[in-house]
Each structure stands twice: as C-alpha cells, then as structure tokens.
Amino acid sequence: MLHEYRDEIHQLKQENAHFARIFEKHNELDDKIEKAENGDIPMTDMEIETLKKEKLLLKDEAYKMILDYRKSKA
C-alpha cells in the first residue's frame, strides 16, 4: 500500500498507534480478498466487494494521515 511513501509509513507506524492499526487492518483485508478471489475461502461477490470498499476507506484514511504527516515535517 502506497509504496512511494515507504519512509513516511515506517515513521507513522512507529509513532502513531492508530495509523499502525489502519495499516495492519488494510493488509489483513488485502490478504483475505486475495484468498477469496482465488477460491481459498468461500465468499460471495457481494462480500468481496464489501471488503474491497472497507479496504479502500482504510487506504484513504492512511493516505490522508501520510499527507498530514508530510506537511507537518515540511
């Protein structure tokens, strides 16, 4: 997720527990979605879409936190 912000992500994960939880939850959802799409875990298309939307919301929140962090360090 957001690989171009690797340094900021590393710092935020160390300094901000909320960001760390968001990041971890995003990765868990990514893994679950991949397994569902590969047929490793049974899930309906609607359930997969719901997980994708949740993952996107987490990514948006994390992205905003990264941008705010960058602005605070400028």
Tokens for 36, please give them.
């569902």
Please state at what angle helix 17-37 crosses helix 6-15, rounded to 10 degrees.
120
Provide the residue ranges of all domains of the chain, joining segments of one domain with +: 3-73
pLDDT tens per residue across span 63-72:
999 999 999 9
pLDDT tens per residue across span 8-55:
999 999 999 999 999 999 999 999 999 999 999 999 999 999 999 999
- Structural contact between residues 3 and 17, judged by C-beta atoms closer than 8 angstroms: no
